[in-house]
């Protein structure tokens, strides 16, 4: 196997990064912790429906550049 497809440190095969999605739903989490990506999708309506169906609040819908589009509060 070519070394170009093996990570030097771990000895694992290289894998392509996951595709970037147009929309991300984040949960800000607790103080001192970074936000957690809960769901990623390319469908805005799917993301909005997902937000509407949650019992918990504080979810944020952001676009691919991180701009806040909506919140579930």
Percent of the chain as helix, strand, coil, to the nearest 5? 15, 30, 50
Report pLDDT for 2: 56
Structure tokens, 10: 């771990």
Report pLDDT for 43: 96
Q: What is the mean pLDDT of each run of 10 residues along the chain (73 residues)?
A: 58 81 90 89 95 86 93 81
Residues β-bridged to residue 23: 41, 63
């Amino acid at each position: 196997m070519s070394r170009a497809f093996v990570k030097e440190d771990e000895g694992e095969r290289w894998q392509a990064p996951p595709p970037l999605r147009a929309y991300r739903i984040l949960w800000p989490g607790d103080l001192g912790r970074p936000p957690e990506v809960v769901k990623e999708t390319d469908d805005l309506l799917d993301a909005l429906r997902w937000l509407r169906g949650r019992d918990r609040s504080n979810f944020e819908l952001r676009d691919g550049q991180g701009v806040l589009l909506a919140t579930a509060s």
